Chains A and B, each alone.
Chain A
Amino acid sequence: MPVACRMCGGPAVLKRPKTGDAVCKDCFFYAFENEVNYTITNGNLFKRGDRVAVGASGGKDSTVLAYILKLLNERHDYGIELILLSVDEGITGYRDDSLETVKRNQHQYDLPLKIVSYEDLYGWTMDAIVKQIGLKNNCTFCGVFRRQALDRGAMLLKANKIATGHNADDIAETVLMNVLRGDIARLRRCTAITTGAEGGLPRCKPLKYTYEKEIVMYAYFKKLDYFSTECIYSPNAYRGHARTYLKDLERIRPSSIIDLIHSGESLSIKKDVKMPVQGTCTRCGYISSNAICKACTLLEGLNKGLPKLAIGKSNKSRRLLDAASQSSDSTNEKTSPKEKKKDVTF
């Protein structure tokens, strides 16, 4: 016997995890779109005249993000300009396929597209990095580089804001990860809907309260074109553990996801806890809590053949860096055949 839609009584197609309500297709679209609109207006994410670079990977979240931002911009007259921004990390068989999807999105949504690559920015593709460092800690490199790449790309586009497709599940996973690792600094920052306003470009997450399940269902019912494969280097990522746990939690009590985000937002930290101070990197000018930002340190490690640099405790990496610079000062440093030096300036 078909279940009736909570809102209009028609035949229901989806049980919303957020509310437990059964809704029909059109009411689902209505609720989904209105909730994102509410998140945007309530959080003051955009103002008229903003030029927004939309992080687009061709995956489900960014495709839905691009689609819905365009729709809401027209429907509610935000008055913003949207441009698709894609990062090519150089992962054969994964990224090159998903970039084809973004190129299709460009035509389907009639939005301009810019692609920036790790190869151009840093002189290293992820494939080359993984060859050097092995299959552990890949995501550390990729994530750090991608953040900078997005900023770089957005600046090239003369955008004043970046929007990413992070969804509720992602943020809940991040909260879990930071709790498990005891990373109080990140824990405090990770639930903010807009971040980075005091350094690079502000970046916001309009889908912050949107469940991954609903994003997939929205894309399915609207027949949106997206690319869906796991990054070939991701199986060893720490986030995988948090995700498995979260999915099990969601099955038992679907509101867990939004509750986790709420807990993260409600956290307050005692005054006497030491927090890192945000400054700027002395090498490239990017925002950083240390003298040299993570990206520069990682690159240094890759170029000097010290791939473990910046992985793990920071004092250790500083010692390694000092030792490396001391040995290069005392002998004239020979350029290793693998070295591809690229200066990252901002």
Chain B
Amino acid sequence: GGAELLFDKVKEHEVKLSHDNNPWTIRKLLVWIKENLLKERPELFVQEDTVRPGILILVNDADWELVGELEYEIQNKDRIVFISTLHGG
């Protein structure tokens, strides 16, 4: 939905997250994305410790609000989609 523009126009990223004592929550993933994948203007993607309002997150094609939002613990082979709604219609 336009969010790919902040990531060098690359839409799909296959990501390997290293094993950690702490589980990988979406909250942690966002920090990781900001540091490793985001190419420009972080304020258009993240706001404080969550995603910018107007960007939807789907976990395996389901609304992240249904799985605990930031606290959801990511499982192996999960597919996480970020859709921006912040553009003209």
Contact = CB atoms under 8 A, between A and B. Distances in A.
Interface of A: 2-3, 11-15, 22, 57, 59-62, 165-167, 170, 212-213, 215-217, 220-221, 228-231, 234, 243-244, 247-248, 250-251
**Most chain B beta-carbon contacts within 10 A, residue among A57, A231, A234, A247:** A247
Contacts of B5: 229
B78 to A, nearest CB: 14
A59 B56 contact: no
Given A216-B83, A217-B63, A229-B5, 20 more contacts: A2-B62, A13-B61, A13-B63, A13-B66, A14-B66, A57-B89, A60-B1, A60-B85, A62-B89, A166-B89, A167-B89, A170-B89, A212-B89, A216-B85, A217-B56, A228-B1, A228-B2, A230-B2, A244-B53, A250-B53
A244 B5 CA distance: 20
A229 B2 contact: yes
A61 B53 contact: no
23 contacts: A12-B62, A12-B63, A13-B61, A14-B63, A14-B66, A15-B65, A15-B66, A57-B88, A60-B87, A61-B89, A62-B89, A165-B89, A167-B89, A212-B89, A216-B1, A217-B63, A228-B1, A228-B2, A229-B2, A229-B5, A230-B88, A243-B54, A248-B53
B86 interface: yes
Contacts of A2: 62, 66
Interface in B1-41: 1-2, 5
Contact of B87 (A15, A62, A166, A228): A228
A213 B89 contact: no
A273 to B, nearest CB: 33
B87 A215 contact: no
